[in-house]
Amino acid sequence: MKKTITVIPGDGIGQEVVSASLTVLETIAKKFNHTFSYQYALAGGAALDAKGVPLPDETLKLAKSCDAVILGAVGGPKWDSNPQHLKPERALLGLRKELGLYANIRPAKIYSALAEASTLKKEVVSGVDIVVMRELTGGLYFGKPSGFERRNGEEVGFNTMIYSESEVRRIAVAAFEIARKRRKKLCSVDKANVLETSQLWRKVVLETAKDFPDVELSHMYVDNCSMQLIRNPKQFDVIVTENMFGDILSDEAAMLTGSIGMLASASLGGNVAMYEPVHGSAPDIAGQNKANPIATIASLAMMLTYSFHLSEESDILEQAIENVLNKNFRTGDIYTEGTTLLGTKEMAEKIIHELSTLH
């Protein structure tokens, strides 16, 4: 198989985790006789420094003309005080919107070797296997009007939370389809006791449920969900929710696993999908070979599954990650006494070594 991948390392540890992960992907390519070619593109702070904008047209063009996009992370203190349209984060939002990536899949699965790494009790987290399906191109993030204004002699900032039926329906369908392939339980999270957008959300999810009678649907308010995720995370299979709630809940779900450095994501919905670790650019450890590359490597496993339909390759990659963790190799974020501390590159090398032993 021949595929072209647009690689956007971005800022901070994005650079390191992406380059380490590509060495792993190349190993998969060799092992299974695939040819992946890479076109590099700038986004975020890196693009601001080189081109003066967070998302250059050239990047968008490359992202639209390939088979999948890999993104590291964007952002950093250097650009934090930039005006809104010149913040590195705009690149991410622009890519999501322009590529039509309305369905963001964020799995939070506990690797058994890491059950001790969670801040929660082992018996609460062991066996947790949740997928957060976050709506990614609507809601408060993109709703108009938004901005700053002077009202009654003072400055106000405002955003609009808006969802149309079709926006809710397509993410609901995607979530039901994922649930159908898993344990067939879907929890739709909203704030229907307060928000009109949530009332519409709930109505459309209920309508959509008629086409998925085999999936058990429940509804939960977002505040309760954030509590239930800590109290009893094993009750969840797939969670579907709007953009902002999903941003928050997916970080919370990620932390159940001990480190956000482990969590992968796939953003689907358009012609080209984008894969990125859930973690950010971590400027405090950037450039020190300390970052955990597993989130990005696991994102590549998702790419193999969702974009290239290479499930055997994807399974082997996930197995290699698991084996390395079982052998007690750790990066700093998941290190505990008695395990072996590795850098970013060395962790990727261990996974590569493991790949060579798997069939």
Contacts of 29 (CB under 8 A, 6+ apart): 35, 36
CB 224: neighbour CB atoms within 10 A? Answer: 12
Q: Which residues contact 78 (CB under 8 A, 6 or more apart)?
A: 45
Spot the catalytic one: 49, 80, 223, 284: 223
Question: Which CB atom, from 5 or from 254, has the smaller least distance to Mg ion?
Answer: 254
Strand partners, 10: 73
What is the rounded CA–CA span in Å between residue 94 and residue 75?
A: 14
129 flagged as catalytic: no
- Choose the catalytic residue: 3, 11, 102, 141: 141
Please report, as ranges, the residues that interact with ligand IPM according to CB under 6 A.
75, 89, 92, 247
Q: Is 247 in the site for Mg ion (CB under 5 A)?
A: yes
> Nearest distance from residue 170's CB to ligand IPM, in Å?
19
Task: Give which of 235, 225, 223 is closest to 129, Cα–Cα.
Answer: 235
- From the list 251, 327, 335, 345, the catalytic residue is 251
Q: Which one of 145-153, 225-233, 247-255, 321-329 is the stretch in contact with Mg ion (CB under 5 A)? A: 247-255
Q: Return d(Cα 35, Cα 209) in angstroms, integer.
A: 41
Told to judge if 40 belongs to the known catalytic residues of this protein, a careful annotator would answer no
Asked about 247 being catalytic, the answer comes back as yes
Indicate which of ligand IPM, Mg ion, none lies near residue 177 (CB less than 5 to 8 Å, by partner kind): none
Candidates 243, 265, 351, 283; CA nearest to 71 is: 265
135 binds Mg ion (CB under 5 A): no
**DSSP-based three-state secondary structure for 111:** coil
Q: Is 333 a catalytic residue?
A: no
Q: Of 56-64, 243-251, 289-297, 337-345, which segment contacts Mg ion by CB under 5 A? A: 243-251
Pick what 346 binds: ligand IPM, Mg ion, none; C-beta below 5 to 8 Å, kind-dependent: none
Minimum CB separation of residue 81 from ligand IPM in Å reads 16
Cβ 278 to ligand IPM shortest distance, Å: 6
The stretch among 200-208, 225-233, 246-254, 268-276 that binds Mg ion (CB under 5 A) is 246-254
Q: Which is nearer to Mg ion, 247 or 333 (CB)?
A: 247
Q: In whole angstroms, what is the distance from residue 97 CA to residue 185 CA?
A: 29
User: How near is the Cβ of 105 to ligand IPM at its closest, in Å?
Assistant: 12
Query: What is the torsion angle, in degrees rounded to the nearest 10, for the CA atoms of residue 107, residue 173, residue 310 and residue 109?
Result: 10
Which one of ligand IPM, Mg ion, none is in contact with 92 (Cβ closer than 5 to 8 A by kind)? Answer: ligand IPM
Annotated catalytic residue, options 3, 191, 290, 350: 191
Q: How far is the CB of 121 from ligand IPM (least distance, A)?
A: 27
Report the residue number, 92 or 174, with the smaller CB distance to Mg ion: 92
Q: Which does 216 bind (CB under 5 to 8 A by kind): ligand IPM, Mg ion, none?
A: none
Rank residues 247 and 349 by Cβ distance to ligand IPM and give the closer one: 247
Tally the C-alpha atoms within 13 A of residue 236's C-alpha that lie toward its C-beta: 33
Residue 84 burial (C-beta neighbours within 10 Å; 0-12, 13-18, 19+): exposed
**Cα–Cα distance between 18 and 274 in angstroms, integer?**
13
By beta-carbon proximity to ligand IPM, the closer residue of 270 and 343 is: 270
- Is 318 a binding residue for Mg ion by CB under 5 A? The answer is no
Token pair for residue 231?
Answer: 């109290």
Answer whether 219's CB lies under 8 Å from 188's CB.
yes
Is 122 assigned a catalytic role? Answer: no
Nearest approach, Cβ of residue 163 and Mg ion (Å): 19
Side-chain-side CA neighbours of residue 25 (13 Å): 28
**Which residues are known catalytic residues?**
141, 191, 223, 247, 251
